[in-house]
Structure 1
Amino acid sequence: MTQQEQNNINAQQRATENFKAGFNCAETVARTFRDLLNLDVSDEALKMASGFGGGLGHAGCMCGALSGATMVLGMLQGRSSKEQNRGPVYSSAQEFHNIFSDQFGATCCRVLNHHDFGSQEQRHTCLKITGTTADLLMKYIFDKQLIKGI
């Protein structure tokens, strides 16, 4: 098994564990990659992901797993000043959006998951989407060499 394959499995497993532990889809993806990549992001900062679950607080808009992945890309490529170029993170966010859309056929939570929030069916569907998103994001990070040494 290659290092990339092991990293993908680790991301998917960690995301599954985080989701089963009670974190929403956005929190799960952000927390998973913060931990796996040893990113300098506090638990306090991760609270920003909480409102993105359920497609923005159960509004059913953009999938929280995709929102969390976009946050991770921001952690890796985001700006710390207005003078810095936002092009790289915009490009990555758009590319990953397209990868996600190609994988699942949509990016909107209410399209991806028709089940009632809180139901066993909804949780199962979100678990699958969240785990797959973690796998896709790890592949993307590896392929684009956004982190050296993974």
Structure 2
Amino acid sequence: MSEQNQKETAKDLAGQYFKEGYNCAESVVRAFRDFYKLDVSDEALRMASGFGGGLGHAGCMCGALSGATMVLGMLQGRVNKEQSRGPVYGSAHEFHEVFTKQFGAACCRILNPHEFGSQEQRRTCLKITSTTAGILLKYLEDKQLLPTNN
């Protein structure tokens, strides 16, 4: 599969999950889990649920950004305290910068000021969610963090 086709697939899959009713964080995490066949259970995916709407509609950090950070954790996170948290911290910080440069902010209420549940809000979140999946894929490719089992 070409790089462009992979990028479009990641974007499309995240967008498809959002359209099906998953929130932004769930959509990004689920898309990468499914597309790259990551060893993440459905039960583990439940952790993404509270991040939608900028942490449960608090309007703070965008759920798509939170979901992307969770994907980085899936790929670089540590499983014990002896392991370094440096790689995932570095990637999370750097991706936050990439996201902020792309969208101009990381805060949900700034990115999407429309009333929750409105057509405008759904449209804006769909665009942010699918675009985030695309920029995450590019970031993972550039940093050579993509899993090799696909």
Instruction: Provide the aligned C-alpha RMSD in A.
Output: 1.0
Query: Is 1:67 aligned with 2:33?
Result: no
> What's the counterpart of residue 91 of structure 2?
92
Q: Normalization by structure 2: what TM-score?
A: 0.97
| Matched residue, 1:115 | 114
Which residue in 2 is equivalent to 1:10?
9
The residue type equivalent to 2:51 in the other structure is: F
1:27 corresponding residue in structure 2: 26
Structure 1 residue 6: deviation in Å? 1.1
Report the TM-score when normalising by structure 1.
Answer: 0.97
Contact 2:14 2:28 in 1 (8 A): yes
Residue 84 of structure 1 aligns to a residue whose secondary structure is coil
Name structure 2 gaps, 5 residues minimum. none
Query: In 2, distance between residues paired with 1:147 and 1:55?
Result: 26
Question: Quick one: which amino acid aligns to residue 116 of structure 1?
Answer: E
Supply the distance in 1 between the matched residues of 2:19 and 2:131 (Cα, whole angstroms): 14
Query: How many equivalent residue pairs?
Result: 149
| 1:78 counterpart residue number | 77
Is this contact kept in 1: 2:36–2:147, CA < 8 A? no
Residue segments in structure 1 that go unaligned for 5+ positions in a row: none
Deviation at 1:108, TM superposition (A): 0.1
Report sequence identity in percent: 68
Cα distance in 2 for partners of 1:18, 1:147 equals 21
Instruction: For 1:33, give the aligned amino acid.
Output: F
